[in-house]
């Protein structure tokens, strides 16, 4: 099973690039940019990753992002993640980035986007990994700040497929951002949003009805509303689930309590993703292994997570068909 998981082609739809900042790279960039961080070693950083909830993670996440200053920093961050994708057989990835985390510190939008896209282009050419980029609004900040961020993104529309909504869900419901999502849609951006992780099932309903999203990020609390679950199944609304993240942030006490396999078997379009892998203890293969070890799954179930991710991805139908065939051929040959 471990070999099957490792070799299985994977598609990641829920990855915060800032959340892939490994402690070793954090220290390297801090030294390069003469930035003080409140840790003395990478091990000390890792020891601090004992989170009690989403906010306790976000506090340290934003602190870590302070080391990202130059275009080269954003390139190095993204390239390190893409090399990990190659190792984990990730054939396509759709990456979130949080411009407000950086522009709020005086980093130019252009610096961020150029560093990230340079790495994505290199991965396409040298590693054969395709990608899309999704710009997220930080929900703990104001609607006005989100609108300003959208304006900053417009010159780079060719590089950004969609907009998303992340950061602390509690106290920041979807309706707060309905106007900016409408504006983004008018500019041709697709839309996704975090909902139903620390917030209730109603946030999922509101993200669909008010923000008109194509995907729900997390969404595991949909089970609180049976009618919603029924609608998600009927409409094939994808949920980008992050198992290790959910257990690390206490959404579920242990992996054996997670509902990702149960949702899959009910017929929901659920996918497996790594969220903020440097902080939550694992990239794509790690998440698949954690699920397979804790919950009753077959090889077909695990392959279905990838097939769902291909279906839910923002790529052309031609590419979807090609990737679907790649996964089905892999499973057939493995058998």
CA pair distance 44, 297, nearest whole angstrom: 36
Q: How confident is the model at residue 230 (pLDDT cuts 50, 70, 90)?
A: very high
Rounded to two decimals, the pTM is 0.96
End-to-end CA distance of the chain: 12
On the 0-12 / 13-18 / 19+ scale of CB atoms within 10 A, 83 is middle
Model pLDDT for residues 173-204, shown as the tens digit of each residue:
999 999 999 999 999 999 999 999 999 999 99
Catalytically active residues are 197
> Both tokens of residue 326?
């790649």
CA 51, CA 251: separation in Å to the nearest integer? Answer: 11
Would you say residue 335 has pLDDT above 80?
A: no
Per-residue pLDDT of 247-274, as tens digits, reads: 999 999 999 999 999 999 999 999 999 9
Burial of residue 174, with CB atoms counted within 10 A of its CB: 0-12 exposed, 13-18 middle, 19 or more buried = buried
Average pLDDT over every residue of 276-303: 96
Q: Quick one: pLDDT at residue 162?
A: 98
- Confidence at residue 302, expressed as pLDDT on a 0 to 100 scale: 98
What pLDDT does residue 48 have? 80
Over the stretch 112-162, which tens digit does the pLDDT of each residue have? 999 999 999 999 999 999 999 999 999 999 999 999 999 999 999 999 999
**Distance between CA atoms of 21 and 81, rounded to whole angstroms?**
8
Give CA–CA dist 94/217, Å, rounded: 12
Which class is 2-334 in CATH? alpha beta
Number of helices followed by number of strands (H, E) in the chain = 17, 8
pLDDT score for 102: 97
Distance (Å, whole) CA 291 – CA 220: 15
pLDDT tens-digit series, residues 33-74? 999 988 888 898 888 888 888 888 888 888 889 999 999 999
Looking at residue 316, its pLDDT comes to: 97
At residue 177, the 3 state secondary structure works out as helix
């Amino acid at each position: 099973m471990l070999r099957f998981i490792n070799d299985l082609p994977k598609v990641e739809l829920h990855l915060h690039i800032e959340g892939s900042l490994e402690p070793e790279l954090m220290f390297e960039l801090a030294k390069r940019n003469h930035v003080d961080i409140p840790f003395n070693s990478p091990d000390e950083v890792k020891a601090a990753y004992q989170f009690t909830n989403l906010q306790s993670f976000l506090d340290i996440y934003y602190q870590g992002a302070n080391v990202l200053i130059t275009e080269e920093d954003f390139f190095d961050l993204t390239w390190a993640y893409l090399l990990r994708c190659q190792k984990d057989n990730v054939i396509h990835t759709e990456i979130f980035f949080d411009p407000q985390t950086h522009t709020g510190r005086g980093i130019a939008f252009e610096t961020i986007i150029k560093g990230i896209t340079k790495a994505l282009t290199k991965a396409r050419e040298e590693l054969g990994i395709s990608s899309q980029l999704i710009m997220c609004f930080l929900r703990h900040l104001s609607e006005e700040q989100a609108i300003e961020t959208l304006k900053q993104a417009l010159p780079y529309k060719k590089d950004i497929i969609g907009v998303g909504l992340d950061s602390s869900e509690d106290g920041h419901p979807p309706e707060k951002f309905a106007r900016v999502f409408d504006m983004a849609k008018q500019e041709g951006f697709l839309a996704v949003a975090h909902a139903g992780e620390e917030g209730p099932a109603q946030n999922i309903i509101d993200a669909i009805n008010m923000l008109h999203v194509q995907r729900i990020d997390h969404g595991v609390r949909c089970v609180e509303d049976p009618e919603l679950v029924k609608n998600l199944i009927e409409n094939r609304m994808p949920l980008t689930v992050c198992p290790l993240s959910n257990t690390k942030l206490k959404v579920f006490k242990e992996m054996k309590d997670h509902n990702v396999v149960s949702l899959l078997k009910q017929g929901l379009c659920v996918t497996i993703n790594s969220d903020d892998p440097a902080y939550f203890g694992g990239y794509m293969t790690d998440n698949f292994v954690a699920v397979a070890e804790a919950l009753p799954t077959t090889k077909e179930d695990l392959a279905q997570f990838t097939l769902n991710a291909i279906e839910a991805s923002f790529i052309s139908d031609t590419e979807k068909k090609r990737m679907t065939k790649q996964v089905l051929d892999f499973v057939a040959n493995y058998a």
